[in-house]
């Protein structure tokens, strides 16, 4: 009894709370906006955070700029290639063909040396070129480029110098020496070393592959392709050389012993800019085009299929492992009623990506090819780190991470100043990046950044709304945290000064009530934090609730039309259309009244259908109007329900046929023949006269006629019927029958006795 009493008290209190809240908010339904996909999240702004292709948010990698405003580096436009050897980072640049080494926080230029560069500047100028400005430009731009670098079997640096004097150089004993100088090439785009230490070069503009032994001797032409350039090279455990071409986008498999080649894959893109072998002899190829214009959102060209691969056990750091942390979930709601931004057609399956996008192809040892990643950007370089592919792109200087097994992609770094990431080198847990426009040397640590933010796109409630709780589905490891702030406004411009200030940051340990003011638009900001950088929160879904004060339904149209179907004579179809900005369930009431009267007569109430058939024979003839009243009472309380109504245009209810009046008869003689003439008037109270026919001594042989003014167009018409007396009315008694109909089909019959 005691427990039952307490239960009744709790139920009573809950009902009272609901009534109070209903009165205060003037509505009883809420709207949930969910951000769950990358297309949802990429509309916002990420700073120091990573948005994954499966709609996740987590901290990005900690980044450090290694070269900043150092003397002698200001004339470098692009870092084209990079290798790491023994803790030293070597990189080659454009446009002056400089080679630098970075070690122990010190930058040293190793080619060309200052003495060599000075000697190059002393070259005599054309006597016909007196302009000093042009001379200065020639001195500044040496027009040499270092597109390819590698280390040989002894760990010595190899660099391909492209320009007027194309050559392969080796750095040894702090000196750069020329190893090989092909006589039919201007560019060395790629260098690779096989397992025996042999050196291979990909050149242009004639698309040739050269081979040298481990000492840089015995140079020979390995393959002469039909392509303009060989842009990329790699070697496989099988001893073959794999080459990527420019102009036709081919991946070649070349036997250096027989100098024979087969085409492993013919891509849709013109350039194969990078090749990379991973475990199990799996070859990855980056196919791209320099003409690609970024016209798509990240991951728009490839969305993940429904579901996901089974997670594999990973060693080391984890972004989602929850040792002593917390796991947050979002309350289940009826998804059909939720607002899901970014919801569109089903995502395309793999293999259906647009041809203009760049692709990462996976080529198995058996020669099967799958495109595992697609994006409308230019791919410049490719590397591998802990089983994941790293792809450097332009023209937003983004570094993509691709997990082929888990089918997940993410932008793990984006440079705010540079235009392209043109070189990648992986050394242990560190990743070095080279950029262009401007040229920078960056280092990505293995740890996560200590803090990052994600600011959402504007959420539109459609009307000024009261914003409810924000919930996240997330794993928050120990030592990590997530905070949230919000703001609101009534303008679809987040930069408008009328937007409210950001609320104070609040730790997200449960659903958080947003404190921003009433407003149509809301924006939230999530701040992700990690104390030691070893772990990161990972957010998989965000849900924001809003409640719009109850708005009256709006009846947008009311039409009333006569039903022409057989068996429905005198019936009208009443059709109406209404909407409710709150999405409330609507019911309808139909009233009618004769025009000029004040009182409405109820025809039907609590109607859920959007139309109703009305039997017009149940009322007297006349002009009527119909009123439709929509009510949202099924979704509201008695104190908050609202209605909206609309009145139809006048509709004529006419169930009575025309009246034949003032019949006159006379005889006339025309051209010696006698005719019997009948003149009469036909009138209808509401409808135009539609048709008149007559017959003599019959009810089958009807003869049509027209009004005296030759047009059926008014409610009153005069008719004249002239009958040949000798032919059709011989002496005796006859019956003249007239059938007349109005425009809506009401018919009147009338007979006249005629004696001749």
Tell me what pLDDT residue 341 has: 46
Q: What does the pLDDT look like over 270-293, one tens digit per residue?
A: 999 999 998 778 999 999 987 755
Cβ neighbours of 291 (radius 10 Å): 9
CA nearest neighbour of 422 among 403, 438, 408: 438
Q: What is the DSSP string of 365-413?
A: TT--EEEEEEESSEEEEEEEETTEEEEEEESS-EEEEEETTTTEEEEEE
Rounded to whole angstroms, how far apart are CA atoms 620 and 431?
89
Fold of the domain spanning 25-59+451-547 = Jelly Rolls (2.60.120)
Domain ranges in the chain are 25-59+451-547, 61-122+134-301+359-448, 554-653, 659-755
Rounded to whole angstroms, how far apart are CA atoms 621 and 654?
5
Rounded to whole angstroms, how far apart are CA atoms 173 and 156?
10
Contact 529, 474 (CB under 8 A): no
Q: Which of 28-32, 54-58, 65-69, 356-360 is modeled with the greatest confidence?
A: 54-58
User: Which band of pLDDT confidence, cut at 50, 70 and 90, is reported for residue 524?
Assistant: very high
- Cα separations (Å) of 468 from 334, 370, 518, 661? 17, 45, 10, 75
Superfamily for the 554-653 domain: Immunoglobulins (2.60.40.10)
Contact 73, 107 (CB under 8 A): yes
Rounded to whole angstroms, how far apart are CA atoms 457 and 286?
32
Tell me what pLDDT residue 129 has: 45
Fold of the domain spanning 659-755 = Immunoglobulin-like (2.60.40)
- What's 61-122+134-301+359-448's CATH class? mainly beta
Q: What does the pLDDT look like over 536-592, one tens digit per residue?
A: 999 999 999 998 888 899 999 999 999 988 889 999 999 999 999 888 899 999 999
- Cα separations (Å) of 640 from 18, 393, 548, 573, 631? 13, 56, 13, 32, 11
Tell me what pLDDT residue 422 has: 96
Contact 241, 262 (CB under 8 A): no
Tell me the two tokens of residue 471.
Answer: 């919930």
Q: Where are the beta strands (DSSP E) in 608-714?
A: 611-615, 622-631, 643-647, 651-653, 659-670, 673-683, 689-696, 703-705
Contact 588, 607 (CB under 8 A): yes
Tell me what pLDDT residue 408 has: 83
Q: CA 120 from chain center: how many Å? A: 54
What's the average model confidence in pLDDT over 619-642?
94
Same fold, 61-122+134-301+359-448 and 554-653: no
Beta-bridge partner residues of 284: 276, 362
Tell me the two tokens of residue 558.
Answer: 């009311």
What's the average model confidence in pLDDT over 241-251?
95
């Amino acid at each position: 009894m005691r427990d039952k009493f307490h239960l009744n008290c709790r139920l009573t209190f809950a009902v009272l709370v609901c009534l109070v809240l209903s009165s205060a908010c003037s509505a009883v339904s809420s709207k949930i906006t969910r951000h769950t996909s990358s297309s949802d999240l990429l509309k916002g702004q990420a700073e120091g955070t990573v948005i994954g292709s499966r709609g996740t948010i987590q901290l990005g990698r900690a980044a450090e700029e290694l070269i900043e405003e150092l003397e002698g580096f200001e004339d470098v436009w692009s870092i084209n290639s990079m290798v790491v050897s023994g803790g030293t980072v070597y990189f080659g640049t454009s446009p002056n063909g400089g080679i630098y080494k970075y070690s122990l926080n010190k930058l040293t230029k190793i080619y060309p040396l200052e003495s060599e560069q000075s000697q190059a500047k002393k070259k005599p100028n054309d006597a016909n070129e007196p302009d000093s400005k042009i001379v200065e430009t020639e001195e500044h731009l040496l027009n040499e480029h270092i597109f390819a670098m590698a280390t040989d079997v002894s760990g010595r640096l190899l660099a391909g110098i492209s320009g007027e004097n194309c050559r392969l150089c080796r750095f040894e004993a702090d000196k750069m020496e020329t190893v090989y100088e092909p006589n039919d090439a201007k560019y060395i785009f790629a260098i690779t070393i096989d397992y025996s230490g042999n050196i291979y070069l990909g050149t242009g503009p004639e698309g040739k592959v050269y081979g040298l032994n481990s000492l840089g001797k015995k140079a020979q032409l390995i393959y002469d392709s039909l392509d303009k350039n060989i842009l990329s090279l790699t070697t496989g455990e099988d001893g073959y050389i794999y080459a990527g071409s420019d102009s036709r986008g081919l991946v070649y498999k070349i036997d250096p012993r027989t100098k024979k080649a087969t085409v492993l894959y013919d891509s849709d893109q013109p350039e194969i800019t990078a090749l990379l072998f991973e475990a199990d002899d799996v070859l990855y190829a980056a196919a791209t085009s320099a003409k690609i214009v970024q016209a798509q959102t990240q991951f728009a060209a490839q969305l993940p299929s429904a579901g996901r691969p089974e997670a594999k056990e990973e060693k080391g750091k984890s972004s989602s492992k929850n040792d002593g942390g917390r796991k947050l979930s979002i309350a289940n709601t009826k998804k059909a009623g939720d607002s899901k931004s970014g919801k569109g057609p089903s995502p395309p399956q793999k293999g259906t990506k647009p041809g203009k996008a760049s692709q990462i192809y996976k080529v198995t040892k058996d020669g099967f090819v799958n495109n595992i990643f697609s994006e409308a950007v230019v791919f410049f370089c490719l590397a591998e780190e802990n089983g994941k592919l790293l792809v450097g792109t332009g023209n937003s200087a983004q570094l993509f991470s691709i997990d082929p097994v888990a089918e997940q992609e993410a932008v793990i770094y984006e440079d705010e100043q540079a235009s392209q990431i043109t070189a990648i080198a992986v050394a242990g847990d560190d990743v070095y990046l080279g950029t262009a426009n401007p040229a920078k040397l960056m280092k990505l640590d293995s740890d996560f950044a200590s803090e990052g933010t994600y600011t959402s796109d504007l959420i539109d409630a459609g009307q000024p709304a009261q914003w409810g709780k924000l919930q996240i589905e997330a794993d928050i490891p120990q030592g990590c945290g997530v905070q949230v702030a919000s703001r609101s406004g009534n303008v679809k411009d987040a930069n408008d000064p009328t937007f409210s200030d950001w609320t104070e940051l609040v730790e997200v340990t449960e659903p958080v009530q947003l404190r921003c003011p009433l407003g149509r638009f809301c924006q939230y900001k999530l701040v992700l934090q990690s104390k030691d950088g070893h772990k990161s929160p990972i957010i998989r879904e965000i849900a924001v609730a809003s409640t719009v004060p109850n708005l009256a339904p709006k009846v947008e149209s009311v039409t009333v039309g006569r039903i022409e179907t057989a068996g429905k004579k005198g019936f009208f179809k009443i059709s109406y259309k209404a909407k409710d900005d709150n999405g409330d369930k609507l019911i309808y009431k139909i009233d009618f009244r004769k025009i000029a009267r004040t009182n409405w007569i109820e025809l039907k109430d609590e109607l859920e259908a959007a139309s109703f058939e009305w039997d017009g024979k149940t009322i007297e003839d006349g002009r009527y109007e119909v009123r439709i009243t929509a009510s949202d009472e099924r979704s509201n309380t008695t104190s908050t329900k609202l209605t909206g109504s609309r009145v139809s245009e006048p509709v004529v209810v006419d169930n009575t046929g025309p009246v034949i009046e003032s019949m006159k008869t006379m005889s006339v003689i025309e051209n010696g023949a006698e005719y019997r003439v009948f003149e009469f008037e036909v009138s209808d109270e509401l409808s135009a006269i539609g048709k008149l026919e007559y017959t003599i001594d019959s009810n089958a042989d009807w003869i049509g006629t027209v009004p005296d003014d030759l047009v059926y167009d008014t409610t009153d018409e005069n008719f004249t019927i002239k009958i040949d007396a000798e032919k059709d009315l011989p002496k005796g008694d006859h019956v003249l029958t007239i059938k007349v109909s109005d425009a809506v089909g009401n018919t009147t019959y009338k007979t006249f006795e005629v004696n001749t």
